[in-house]
Chain A
Amino acid sequence: MNPELVGRVFAPTSPYLVGREKVREFAASVFATSPLNTDVEAARAAGYADVVAPPTFAVVVQEHTLKQLLSEPDAGIDFSRVVHGDQRFTFSRPIVAGDELTATLSVASIKSLGGHSMVTAESTIVDVTGAHVVTATSTLVVRGDE
C-alpha cells in the first residue's frame, strides 16, 4: 500500500438523501425493534423530525467514501485482500429521514504489521447546513502475500 496516502483528503461525495423507507428497510435488516426507527408519529413525539436511523446506518453513506479509497489509482489496495478490522461511529446527532448527507474521507494512518497493512480511514458526514452529524472510522486490513 502506498504510504503517501496518509493525510490525503478525498472530494466530498454527492449528497445522499436519507429516505424514510430506506431507514425502515435498514432497521428491519439489523433486527431493530424500536418504534422510533419506523413510526413517524413515535419519532416526532420523541422530538425528532422523522424516523431515526439505527446507529450503524451511517455505513451506507460511508460506503461511498470507501469506494473512492479502494479505487484510488495510486493507493495500491487489492480489494480481494481487504478485511474489515474495526469500525467506529461518533455522533453529534442521529441520522433521521430527510437528511441530506455528504461524506468526506481522509486517510488517518497506515501501519504495517507482520506483512499486512492497516489503513484507517475517517469519513466525516455532515448535513445540508454543513453541521457535523457523524464521523465513521474504519480500519481495513490488507493481507500481504502468504
Chain B
Amino acid sequence: MTAGITIAADELTAGDVVAGGHFALSRDSLVRYAGASGDFNAIHYRDDVAASVGLPGVLAHGMLTMGLAVQPVVDWIGDPGRVLDYQVRFTRPVLVDPVDGAELIVSAKVGKVDAEAGTARIDLTVTFNGDTVLGKAQAVVSLAPTASV
C-alpha cells in the first residue's frame, strides 16, 4: 500500500527546486486536449478563426498549460491524489506554430512548508520563449500518502 513517497517536512526548504520538465506542444496536442476536455473553441485549432478575433495565431488552451504544468510535481510525489489545491493565473498566451509547435519549460520549487498540516506549497514557473505564461501558479501537496477513496 504505497501512494508515492513520504517527504519529511524538514527535508524541504523554501526555494528548493523539486521537479521540472520540458513539454513539446504541437497542433496535434491541442486537438487531443480539445477532444479530451470538450473545449472545442476554434481559436485552439484554426488559424483563420484566431486571426478573425485579433490573435497572432492559434493558442494553446490555458487549461492545457495548467494541466501539464503540475505533472512534474505529481511525478515527484508519485500520486495525483496528493494535490490538495492548485491555482494559476493566465498571464500570457502560448502561440503554437503549425510546424514548429511550442516548447513549455516547467520548474517547480518549494514555496512554503506547513509541517503541522503535513503539506507544502509548490510554486511553478512556466516559460515559453523565455517569458512566463502563468502567474501565481501554486500547488499545495500532501507530504505523505493520503489515499482513502
Residues of A whose CB lies within 8 Å of any CB of B are 22, 25-26, 28-34, 36-37, 45-49, 52-56, 59-60, 63, 80, 83-91, 93-94, 96
Contact = CB atoms under 8 A, between A and B. Distances in A.
Contact of B149 (A25, A30, A49, A55): A49
Size range of the interface on B? Answer: 35 or more
A94 B83 CA distance: 8
Contacts of B145: 46-47
Contacts, number: 130
B101 interface: no
Smallest CB-CB A-B distances: 3 pairs = A47-B147, A30-B67, A94-B81
Main secondary structure of the interface of A (DSSP, over half): mixed
A141 B89 CA distance: 12
Greatest chain A CB density within 10 A among B66, B80, B89, B145 is at B80
Contacts of B81: 36, 46, 48, 52, 93-94
Interface of B: 1-4, 23, 29, 32-33, 35-39, 53, 62-64, 66-68, 70-71, 74-75, 78-81, 83-90, 136, 139, 145, 147-149
Given A48-B147, A84-B62, A87-B87, 4 more contacts: A47-B3, A52-B80, A59-B37, A60-B37
Greatest chain A CB density within 10 A among B74, B83, B85, B147 is at B147
Given A28-B36, A30-B67, A91-B83, A47 B148 contact: yes
B37 A31 contact: no
B149 A31 contact: no
8 contacts: A26-B36, A48-B81, A55-B70, A56-B86, A86-B90, A87-B66, A91-B85, A94-B83
